[in-house]
Amino acid sequence: MTFLPNIRLECGVMQVDGMTPKGRERFWTGVLLTPTMLGLGLGVLGSIFATLWLGFYDWDLFTAPEWVGLENYTDLPGDRRFMQSLRVTTLFSAIYVPGTVILSIAIALLLNRHVVGKSLFRLFFFLPVVTSPVAVGLVWSWIYSRDQGLLNNMLSTVGMDPVYWLGRDMALYSVVVVNIWGAVGEGMIIFLAGLQAIPKNLYEAAMLDGASRSKQFWRITLPLLIPSIFFQVILSTINAFQAFDYVYVLTSTQGGGSTMPTLVFNLYREGFKFFRMGDAAAQAVVLAGIIMVLTLIYNQLQKRWG
C-alpha cells in the first residue's frame, strides 16, 4: 500500500492526488486505524461517561458501588475541604490569569522589536513550557526552601529574616509566581503571532499623523490584540482551574494535605488518598461545569467586544 502524493496547482489552488485511500486501501486504512480510534473512544469518551456514572455512586474501590443518587452533589456545599479548595482556586485564578496575560503581552511587545539575540530570548521564555513540571517544581522547591533556599539566603545577606515561602500564608503567591513563569512562554507565542498580524501601514499612517508610541499602543495595538487576549484568557482560566503539578510538588504535606489545596488537588486527594471515588467524580463534574460556564461567558464577551 503506497501513498505517493501528486501535487499540482489548478486555478491558484494546490491540489493533492493520491492521499485518499480507495478500494482495498480504504479497508486496510480502517483496520489499521481501529486500535487508535478504540483507544481514543475508551480513553476520552469512556472516562467521561465513567465519571458521570460514578458521581451517582458511593464507591471505595474495594466494595461494590452503592447508588446514592444526587447525594454526592448535594453534600458539596457542606464539604469543608471542597469549599476551601474552591476558594483557593478562585483566588489563584484571580491572580494567575491577569498576571499571565499582562506579562505575556509585555514580553511579546519587547520581543516584537529589533532586539539583539531575539531568538535566544524567545527560546529562554518558551523553555519552561516544554520542561517537566516535576523537575521545575523540584528546582523551585529548593529556591523557596526555608532553611537552605536561594531566596532566604539572599534575604539573610541583606540582614532580613527568612520567609516560609511555602507556608499557609505565602504558598498561594509563591505557587502563582511559578505557574506564571511556566505559562508566559505559551502566551508570548500567541501574542507575538497577534502582533505580527497587525498591518504595518496602520503604524505608518499613525506616525505621519504624529501619534506617539503610547497612542499607537492604545488605539491600534491593543484593540487589534483583543481576539488574542480573549483566547489567552480562556486558556489561562482553564489552566488555573486545572492547576495541580506545581501545587502537588511544592505544597504537599505529610498525611496527604497541602498548604494551598486547589480543586484538582482536592479531587485527587478524595479519590486516591481517601478512596471516595463518588465524591471525587462529583467534584470533577462540577469543575468541568465551572470551566464550561466561564468559557461560554468569555465567548459571549468576545462576540460583543472582540
Residue type for position 225: L
* pLDDT band per the 50, 70, 90 thresholds, residue 190: very high
- Contact present, 260 and 89 (Cβ < 8 Å): no
Phi and psi at residue 13, to the nearest 5°: -115, 130
Phi and psi at residue 10, to the nearest 5°: -125, 120
Residue 1 has what pLDDT?
44
In the predicted model, what is the mean pLDDT of the chain?
87
* pLDDT band per the 50, 70, 90 thresholds, residue 116: confident
- CA–CA separation, 186 and 252 (whole Å): 27
Residue 2 has what pLDDT?
45
- CA–CA separation, 121 and 34 (whole Å): 43
At residue 26, does pLDDT exceed 50? Answer: yes
Predicted TM-score of the model (pTM): 0.82
- Contact present, 155 and 162 (Cβ < 8 Å): yes
- CA–CA separation, 41 and 134 (whole Å): 29
At residue 10, does pLDDT exceed 80? Answer: no
- Contact present, 146 and 165 (Cβ < 8 Å): yes
